[in-house]
Amino acid sequence: MAMYNKSKFNFSETFNNSNGKTSGSGFVGVITGLLTAIAFSVAMIGWWLGKPDIIDIFDRILQLGLLSAALLGVRKVSGVLTNSKGKTTGVEGEAEQADKAIDKQPG
């Protein structure tokens, strides 16, 4: 097992997909996961204080956590599909086409 190298970790890479671009679903999934953790902590305090209907709130928090996991999973699955086919699976817009044209220019 490789040792953790703190100098190679970059928090902004948490949101990137396998080709190095920022993933929208990854960004929203991480933010949703952080909000879920905060909501769970607050709900646990409410449960210990005996607040009514806290079980319904835990149900909503579970749904939010599952949404976060699904968004992060979509980021990974789309990266695998992209790598296995050797091309992107989404529709390319004008900006992506312009980037490719710039990359192909000699110089």
Give domain limits for the chain.
48-73
Give the pLDDT confidence score for residue 98 in this predicted structure: 55
Give the pLDDT confidence score for residue 91 in this predicted structure: 47
Q: Which of 9-13, 19-23, 86-90 has the lowest mean pLDDT?
A: 86-90
pTM of the model: 0.61
Would you give the distance in Å from CA 102 to the centre of its chain?
Answer: 29
Give the pLDDT confidence score for residue 95 in this predicted structure: 53
As a three-state string, the secondary structure of the chain is CCCCCHHHCCHHHHHECCCCCECHHHHHHHHHHHHHHHHHHHHHHHHHCCCCCHHHHHHHHHHHHHHHHHHHHHHHHHHHHHHHHCCCCCCCCHHHHHHHHHHHCCC
When pLDDT is cut at 50, 70 and 90, the band that residue 63 belongs to is: very high
Give the pLDDT confidence score for residue 30 in this predicted structure: 85
